[in-house]
Amino acid sequence: MRNAELTANGTFSGHHSSFIIFMAEMTTLPAGKDVTLRVVPMPADENQAGDIFGGWIMAQVDVAGSIQAIRHAKGRVATVAVNSFQFKQPVLVGDLVSFYAEVVRVGRTSITVNVEVYAQRRPEREEVVKVTEATLTYVALDENRQPRVVSAQQ
């Protein structure tokens, strides 16, 4: 890379080059929060580069978010928006991946959920990295699959 500089947001910029580097931020699992979903990705979940396919992670985030939305709505929900989604680190085969979901907003028929995702890479060394964070919105549905009112106090 000729004439490239590392910018404050972790990207390289310069003549004929621009790409993102992943800065490994060691962390711990969130204290005081209950895990919503925990799963170990398998080789069948890899992409062509050998990392876990982003679509697999997105699907698991949607499952984790919907669990909290279903609990709050006390019934069926459907995903209506992925408000934000950021991949921070790759997920690897064999990682123990933990999804922490929390309801952050309740509208008349909608429930917005934040999901944070952590990977425990080497349990023997307790290496934990935050790999993904997302915000999704769900709508509560009645028995006819039509939007229904949810209560903020549920």
pLDDT of the chain, 154 residues: tens digit per residue: 344 444 444 444 444 443 444 455 668 888 889 999 999 999 999 999 999 999 999 999 999 999 999 999 999 999 999 999 999 999 999 999 999 999 999 999 999 999 999 999 876 777 899 999 999 999 999 999 999 999 765 4
Picking from 19, 13, 12, 20, the residue whose alpha carbon sits closest to that of residue 88 is 20
User: Could you report the per-residue pLDDT of 58-87, keeping only the tens digit for each?
Assistant: 999 999 999 999 999 999 999 999 999 999
Provide the whole-model pTM.
0.81
**CA–CA dist 72, 89 (Å, integer):** 30
Which residue has 């909290």 as its token pair?
A: 68
Other residues' Cβ atoms within 10 Å of the Cβ of residue 56 = 18
